[in-house]
């Protein structure tokens, strides 16, 4: 009995000792105090940058966007944005706060350029109805160092990175330099200056097409038969165009395309040396670019400028025939091509006359023969809709099926760089369309 009593007393003492250890906190502060201290530390990081933060945000519904933020200790932030020349030189001041939600969250809680970017009304900044550009104005802080803060949007998982700005970067926004540069660049890349090229130290020619906020890098394949391409969306920063990831070719990397305002020219820096980028006609033939740089020529219901009267007449005859015979309104016509496979599909989209919500796609397939100069299209097959619509497209397809064609770039004074197909057998039949990736 005494042994049992002794064991019970010993066990009780042991448990009491354990309970005492568990009750003792390993922290000197409460959880609430620790959270508050963490938020204060993050705010100190935000406000400690004397020249603010240069920030790149990547909306789910658009390419990269550049912001500049300057935070103060009273929870106010001044911001600029490159969504327009005006926004890049007109500051907006709003409030911000740090809050501990699932993790530490930076919330821009009054109207700013971030809210414009996230507006669900596509008439505000673009995008789709109800979603806009799928951007955010509340961000989880994923990684915080003294000079870089990586964030992810709460609603749309938008990636963002903030970097301590330099005095020159802060001044470029505050003085309107970035806004003025955006205006200058868009003026410069308007026709005829939408195609550019530069030469690497090893004599490799690199072509660049710049349109809107997209730069397309092109280089001829080693066998000279195809053009390899890379489409890179860009934003603007204090020096020119900024690529979200460096373009690398043969070990040479570039992430900024600099703008030389004094000389009105682009340039890059490689290994500390300046290489000018010159405007001019596209370097490489158009057809070898299909399948890598481009995949289609897109012809709308109203053909682009640079199309011939003969084509316009045949095209309208085709539209009228489809409407009267199939009770359908043609929406567009796509010439989908690949130099890698030497195949083309004519893809026609149409909507029912009685109900525009009823839409269908028709596909007609061709084999391409290309001799380096001209293209010959040979009919191969069609899907069910293609077979149905084929007889009513003859005013255009008579040319496609029987003629040889030349495919080339066309510089539109209003629409930029287009593709143009010209019959070599009927020189008065040619049409242009939007080059699409």
- Within a domain: residue 9? no
Residue 54: CATH number of its domain:
2.40.128.370
pLDDT of residue 18: 47
Does 192 sit behind a cis peptide bond, omega within 30 degrees of 0 on the bond before it?
Answer: yes
The answer to whether residues 58 and 193 belong to one domain is no
Q: What DSSP string describes 94-161?
A: EEEEEEESSSEEEEE-S--HHHHHH-S-HHHH-SBTTTBT---SEEEEEEE-SSEEEEEETTT--EEE
- Within a domain: residue 112? yes
319 with 330: CB under 8 angstroms? yes
pLDDT tens column, 80-111: 999 999 999 999 999 999 998 778 999 999 99
The answer to whether residues 402 and 306 belong to one domain is yes
Extract long-range pairs of 29-36: CB within 8 Å, 24+ residues apart.
35/100
Strand-pairing partners, residue 106, are 98, 139
Task: Give the range of the structural domain holding residue 221, as residue numbers without chain letter.
Answer: 189-284
The answer to whether residues 169 and 199 belong to one domain is no
Tell me phi and psi for residue 132, to 5 degrees: 60, -135
The answer to whether residues 199 and 243 belong to one domain is yes
pLDDT of residue 293: 87
- Within a domain: residue 181? no
Q: Which of 112, 140, 174 is the last residue of a domain?
A: 174
Mean pLDDT of 180-209: 89
Phi-psi region of 94 (alpha: psi -120 to 50; beta: other; left: phi over 0): beta
Mean pLDDT of 172-198: 91
Q: Where are the alpha helices (DSSP H) in 49-104?
A: 85-89
Distance in angstroms (rounded) separating the CA atoms of residues 136 and 108: 9
pLDDT tens column, 34-55: 677 888 899 999 999 999 999 9
Q: Which of 235, 257, 284 is the last residue of a domain?
A: 284
Give buried/exposed letters for 242-268 (b at 16+ CB in 10 A, else e). bbeeebeeeebebbbbbbeeeeebbbb
The answer to whether residues 156 and 214 belong to one domain is no
117 with 83: CB under 8 angstroms? yes
- Within a domain: residue 5? no
pLDDT of residue 211: 83
Q: Residue 124 contacts by C-beta under 8 Å, 6 or more apart in sequence? A: 116, 132
Q: Which of 259, 284, 309 is the last residue of a domain?
A: 284
The answer to whether residues 135 and 92 belong to one domain is yes
- Within a domain: residue 20? no
Number of structural domains found in the chain: 3
Highest mean pLDDT among 122-126, 290-294, 403-407: 403-407
Distance in angstroms (rounded) separating the CA atoms of residues 112 and 165: 19
End-to-end CA gap in the chain: 89
Distance in angstroms (rounded) separating the CA atoms of residues 90 and 83: 11
The answer to whether residues 157 and 37 belong to one domain is yes
Q: Residue 24 contacts by C-beta under 8 Å, 6 or more apart in sequence? A: none
The answer to whether residues 53 and 108 belong to one domain is yes
The answer to whether residues 347 and 273 belong to one domain is no
HSE on the CB side for 166, CA within 13 Å?
A: 6
- Lowest-pLDDT range of 189-193, 383-387, 409-413: 189-193
The answer to whether residues 220 and 244 belong to one domain is yes
The answer to whether residues 294 and 426 belong to one domain is yes
pLDDT tens column, 199-236: 988 888 999 988 889 998 999 888 777 888 888 999 99
- Within a domain: residue 27? no
- Within a domain: residue 13? no
Q: Residue 252 contacts by C-beta under 8 Å, 6 or more apart in sequence? A: 200, 201, 270, 271
The answer to whether residues 91 and 230 belong to one domain is no
């Amino acid at each position: 009995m005494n042994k049992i009593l002794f064991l019970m007393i010993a066990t009780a003492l042991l448990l009491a000792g354990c309970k005492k250890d568990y009750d003792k906190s390993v922290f000197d502060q409460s959880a609430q105090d620790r959270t508050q201290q963490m938020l204060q530390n993050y705010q100190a990081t935000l406000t400690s940058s004397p020249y603010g933060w240069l920030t790149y945000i990547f909306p789910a519904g658009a390419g990269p966007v550049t912001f500049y933020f300057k935070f103060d200790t009273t929870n106010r932030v001044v911001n600029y944005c490159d969504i327009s020349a005006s926004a890049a030189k007109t500051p907006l001041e709003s409030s911000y706060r740090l809050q501990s939600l699932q993790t530490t969250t930076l919330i821009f809680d009054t109207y700013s350029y971030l809210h414009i970017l996230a507006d669900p009304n596509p008439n505000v900044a673009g995008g789709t109805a109800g979603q806009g550009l799928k951007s955010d104005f509340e961000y989880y802080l994923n990684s915080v160092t003294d000079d870089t803060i990586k964030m992810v949007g709460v609603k749309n998982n938008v990636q963002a990175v903030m970097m301590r700005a330099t005095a020159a970067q802060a001044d470029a926004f505050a003085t309107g330099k970035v806004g003025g540069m955006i205006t200058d660049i868009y003026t410069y890349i308007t026709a005829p200056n939408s195609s550019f090229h530069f030469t690497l130290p090893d004599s490799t020619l690199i072509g660049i097409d710049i349109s809107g906020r997209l730069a397309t890098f092109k280089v001829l394949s080693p066998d000279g038969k195809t053009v390899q391409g890379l489409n890179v969306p860009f934003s603007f920063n204090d020096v020119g165009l900024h690529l979200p990831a460096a373009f690398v070719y043969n070990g040479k990397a570039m992430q900024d395309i600099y703008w030389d305002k004094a000389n009105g020219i682009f340039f890059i820096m490689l290994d500390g040396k300046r290489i000018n980028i010159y405007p001019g006609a596209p370097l490489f033939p158009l057809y070898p670019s299909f399948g890598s740089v481009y995949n289609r020529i897109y012809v709308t219901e109203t053909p682009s400028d640079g199309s011939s009267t003969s084509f316009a007449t045949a095209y309208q005859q085709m539209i009228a025939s489809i409407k009267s015979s199939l009770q359908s309104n043609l929406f567009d016509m796509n010439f989908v091509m690949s130099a890698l496979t030497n195949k083309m599909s004519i893809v026609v989209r149409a909507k029912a006359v009685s109900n525009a919500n009823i839409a269908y796609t028709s596909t007609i397939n061709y084999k391409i023969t290309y001799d380096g100069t001209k293209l010959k299209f040979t009919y191969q097959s069609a899907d069910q809709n293609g077979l149905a619509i084929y007889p009513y497209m003859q005013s255009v397809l008579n040319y496609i099926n029987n003629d040889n064609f030349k495919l080339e770039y066309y510089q539109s004074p209003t629409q930029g760089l287009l593709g143009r197909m010209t019959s070599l057998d009927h020189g008065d039949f040619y049409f242009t369309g939007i080059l699409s990736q």
